[in-house]
Homo-oligomer: A and B are copies of this chain.
Amino acid sequence: MTRNDSDDPRSTAVDQLEAFGLSTYAARTFVALASLGEGTAKDVSALAEVPRTRVYDATAELREYGLVDVQQSTPKRFTAVSAETTGRRFRREYTRRADLLTNALDEIEPASPNAEQRGVWTVTGREMVSDRVVEFVGGASEEVVLVTLETLLTDDVLAAVRAAIDRGVTVRVSGMDFSATEGDIDRLPDGCGFESSRAWSGVPAGRLLMVDRRRTLASVLVDGDGEHPPDARDETAIWGAGENNSLVVVLKAMFAWLNGGRE
């Protein structure tokens, strides 16, 4: 079983093509044609483990996607487009799909300012938590307070923070780990006067966020509940919204306390 390993380019190509909606025959046929450059149904069948009689369906499907061209002769000959063209093709289609989805959802979302909720919501996964941070910072109109590990200050988050600052929002960002504060805060435009670190030494590492004193989020890293890469699903967060939300009240008090009684 040395064939078909996980990091074999052929396998990954087939997987991705299937994710983009192709049938397995079509996907296998395409990578075979990409390897051959050009070939007949017999060639493809031999290399791709696709039944000869089905190569025609597969190439027809690929032709619809514009990934394969056909030579009308006997035997028919097929050729695959270049890797760049393939990538461009799907990139276009799926960014278009994402735009469609965003617009459709925008029309659906309730116009009402979504009466502030009570209770505490949970999120799992580093990327997912980052998404919430970006979303909440993006919705800030007055004030953002963010305390975070340097590792978690991804480009997404930084972009959202910069956008908020440009929008005229008062933003204060602080690192939780000591080494961090120097490295990355530079990447932010001024207006981040928090006293860097030290105060957070006893707090479990993660993030704390407060937006307009009406929406807060707290997360911790749970490093490794058995997941393979210690990078994927290792952050869990809770968040809440609304003036009287319990989590909001607690974190609001906490920030005020650590900020030296101001407010």
Interface residues of A (CB under 8 A from B): 9-10, 12-13, 16-17, 19-21, 31, 34-38, 63, 66, 69-73, 77, 79, 81-91, 94-95, 97-110, 112, 114, 117, 119-125, 127-128, 131-132, 134-135, 138, 156, 239
Separation of A77 and B71 alpha carbons in the complex (Å): 57
Asked whether, in the complex, the Cβ of A89 is within 8 Å of the Cβ of B35, the reply is no
Asked whether, in the complex, the Cβ of B122 is within 8 Å of the Cβ of A34, the reply is no
By beta carbon, the residue of chain B nearest A102 is B87
List the number of copies, as a whole number: 2
Asked whether, in the complex, the Cβ of B101 is within 8 Å of the Cβ of A90, the reply is yes
Asked whether, in the complex, the Cβ of A69 is within 8 Å of the Cβ of B122, the reply is yes
Also in contact, A97 and B35, with CB within 8 A (given A85-B134, A121-B70, A125-B66)? no
The 6 nearest A-B residue pairs measured at CB: A66-B128, A87-B102, A83-B105, A13-B104, A16-B101, A69-B121
13 extra A-B contacts, CB within 8 A, seeds A16-B97, A66-B128, A69-B239: A9-B104, A9-B107, A9-B108, A12-B100, A12-B104, A20-B101, A34-B109, A71-B119, A83-B103, A85-B134, A87-B98, A91-B98, A94-B94
Across the interface, which residues of B come within 8 angstroms of A114, CB to CB? 37-38
Q: Which of B63, B82, B122 contacts A124 (CB 8 A)?
A: B63
Asked whether, in the complex, the Cβ of B70 is within 8 Å of the Cβ of A119, the reply is no
Across the interface, which residues of B come within 8 angstroms of A112, CB to CB? 37
Across the interface, which residues of B come within 8 angstroms of A72, CB to CB? 120, 122
Q: Which of B79, B90, B135 contacts A81 (CB 8 A)?
A: B135
Asked whether, in the complex, the Cβ of A101 is within 8 Å of the Cβ of B71, the reply is no
Q: Which of B10, B98, B156 contacts A108 (CB 8 A)?
A: B10
Asked whether, in the complex, the Cβ of A79 is within 8 Å of the Cβ of B16, the reply is no
Across the interface, which residues of B come within 8 angstroms of A10, CB to CB? 104, 108
Taking the closest CB of chain B, its distance from the CB of A217, in whole angstroms, is: 11
Asked whether, in the complex, the Cβ of A89 is within 8 Å of the Cβ of B131, the reply is yes
Across the interface, which residues of B come within 8 angstroms of A127, CB to CB? 66
Across the interface, which residues of B come within 8 angstroms of A88, CB to CB? 131, 134, 156
Across the interface, which residues of B come within 8 angstroms of A117, CB to CB? 38, 79
A-B contact pairs, 30 of them (CB 8 A): A9-B104, A12-B101, A13-B105, A13-B108, A16-B97, A16-B101, A20-B94, A20-B97, A34-B108, A34-B109, A36-B110, A37-B110, A38-B117, A63-B124, A69-B123, A69-B132, A69-B239, A72-B122, A79-B121, A81-B132, A82-B135, A83-B103, A83-B108, A84-B135, A84-B138, A85-B131, A85-B134, A86-B105, A90-B101, A91-B98
